[in-house]
A and B are shown apart, each in its own frame.
Chain A
Amino acid sequence: MVLGLINANPVIYEKKERRVRGAPSDADEYAVEPIDEQEIFDILLNDTQKICIFKYPEHPYSLEELKVITEDAIEVNDHRSYVRVTFTPTVEHCSMATIIGLCLRVKLIRSLPSRYKVDIRVAPGSHATEAAVNKQLNDKERVAAALENPSLLDMVDECLAPTYG
């Protein structure tokens, strides 16, 4: 796959200071800890570190540094087993929007309990074909078919693979 430089001069943001997660309460070590926004954010970024340096060799920045994903754009309702991630492509015509969204979905499917319902969307107004991208990302039949495509799956796995160094 040959990709031109989609956004030659992206704005790079500082990584946010992490909150320190509270130590598990001693009172009940078996208590179920609800999943919250920060945990989803960590799943999407910290745990994998480099979900989005893929195919942007010119821009070895994480989705966080490009502000493609922010913690504010993650909604979680653990009680209802629901997560919605809203991401912001760096440019309106980002041709990678669907693949970024697919990676986010796959990462969440692989990380969260199966009871979770996941919606992925691009931020309102952030993409030229917003409705089409959102529709495709949330059609599970298309997602299932895409993940049976070996080259697409390789690309997703490459994106999600931990990077070192």
Chain B
Amino acid sequence: MEFVDGRFELREIQKLEGHSDRVWSLAWNPATGVDGVPSVFASCSGDKTVRIWERSHSTGSWDCKAVLDETHTRTVRSCAWSPSGKLLATVSFDATTAIWENVGGDFECVSTLEGHENEVKSVSWNASGSLLATCGRDKTVWIWEVQPGHEYECVAVLQGHTQDVKMVQWHPTMDVLFSCSYDNNIKIWADEGDDDDWVCVQTLDEPNNGHSSTVWALSFNSSGDKMVTCSDDLTLKIWGTDLTRMQSSDGYAPWRHLSTIAGYHDRTIFSVHWSREGIIASGAADDAIRFFVESEDKDGLFTSKVDGPTYKLLLKEEKAHDMDVNSVQWSPGEKRLLASASDDGTIKIWELAPVPC
């Protein structure tokens, strides 16, 4: 792979200020940043607001285009754009999920989803935009079906985790849902029948080479046959499946542990995101951002006994922020553009660039 021998540096492109409390999460609009559409992302914060940032054609810098407030009454924990980029879902400690529509540059709250008992922590749209998943402190995962007229019908309440569920994420191509939790486990949910019979088809737990503490986040590689998870146990874990089997069996094929990236992080890893070209970025409570790539070097003394892929540290950016890094997200458009969100209240845009010779 081209990264192995090259040297990279992380250049700070811009530091965005505006939130008055910690920034928990951010999400790039997947329909922007390509074909001349200026790239847009949303950020959400302990200040109870969501901010929409858009890159200026003329200056190339990101500006705050909208502040979505007066809807959530507590921390907005995370946000996600629908695949078309037309809708933004936000979830809050106030127990609600809000759906926002971009109407000529103005964001209108077109729906509010209620049902969770308390804090909602994560939200994810499936690949087609027909389903939405949410999860929260009440230990449940909810699946909502998108219906005409901004109606959302809850089609399943999934119970299985024994503690609060930190994140939900749909598989990038299949309608299979992944959740990770304070109970240290990752659960995989699939629809077993025709009538919304969602069940847990696999649990990746500690006896299966899983994590030994809270699993905070997960991300898929571009083809969807690998997944990376990050944890309070200071490791990243890589999981893999047989994609052909997954597609032929209508969703489910077992996932197995391939590799553990340990020894690099000093404090809780809150966020992990896999770029389309295969670079794993992590954001952690030690204020650093790290980048890992698969290494083809399997001749090493310590790696030869492992049949899974090995990963090496490409770059570590110390003090990327003044406080914890809560979220790292690769831009869908330009290559190697990353946004990070922090407890220090700022968002930073970075470019991972080769060091000039």
Contacts and interface: CB of A to CB of B under 8 A. Distances in A.
Contacts of A93: none
Contacts of A145: 75, 93, 118-119, 137
Contacts of B46: 144
**3 interchain residue pairs of minimum CB distance:** A148-B74, A145-B119, A145-B93
B166 interface: yes
A145 B164 CA distance: 12
A135 B214 contact: yes
B324 interface: yes
Contacts of A115: 322-323
Interface in A129-165: 135, 138-142, 144-145, 148
Contacts of A142: 164, 182
A105 B119 CA distance: 21
Interface residues of B, number: 24
A141 B166 contact: yes
A9 interface: no
Interface residues of A, number: 12
Given A144-B46, A145-B119, A117 B93 contact: no
Given A114-B322, A114-B344, 6 more contacts: A115-B322, A117-B267, A117-B286, A139-B182, A145-B75, A148-B93
A114 B77 CA distance: 21
B75 A144 contact: yes
Contacts of A114: 322-323, 343-344
A140 B323 contact: no
B285 interface: yes
18 contacts: A114-B323, A114-B343, A117-B267, A117-B286, A135-B182, A135-B214, A135-B232, A139-B232, A140-B285, A142-B164, A142-B182, A144-B22, A144-B46, A145-B119, A145-B137, A148-B74, A148-B75, A148-B93
Interface in B103-118: 118
